Copies of this chain bind each other. A is one copy, B any other.
Amino acid sequence: MEETVTADPADLPFDVFSKACPSRGTLEHVTGRWGSLTLGALHEGSFRFNELRRRVDGVSEKMLSQTLHALERDGLVHREAQPTNPPRVDYTLTPLGYEVAERLLGLIHLMEDRMPTVLEARERYDAVRGAR
């Protein structure tokens, strides 16, 4: 077993395939459109709000704020606010967030790496069905 997690999945009480399981919600925060990109960015280090906003191309203030709150609540992101003027807030990953980001980035890099294959597959698919 090359698993680094501690137990056999079948023995765990949390099964993401089950509709009611809270792990599904957290998985959605992590893998969601902005969640994945935010965690990916924070893996590189600490960011301030607007730095993050520029890094994650296309995210709105509202969605970034919402995303950060969800990730903070799940214990993946740490928010450090300094009561200065102008205010300064730094976002970093927690140890758990870092573990999650590692795996997420593995996935992201794999996707980026295999995009030529994906693009070829799309062309083939569209060539057959695209006559629509």
Contacts and interface: CB of A to CB of B under 8 A. Distances in A.
A7 interface: yes
Interface residues of A, number: 59
Interface string A108-132: 1111111101111110111000000
Contacts of A121: 73-75, 96
Counted per complex, copies of this chain come to 2
Contacts of A119: 22
A99 to B, nearest CB: 6
Given A7-B113, A14-B113, A26-B111, 14 more contacts: A3-B109, A5-B109, A9-B112, A12-B115, A14-B111, A15-B112, A22-B118, A23-B111, A31-B107, A73-B122, A73-B126, A74-B122, A75-B122, A107-B107
Contacts of A6: 113
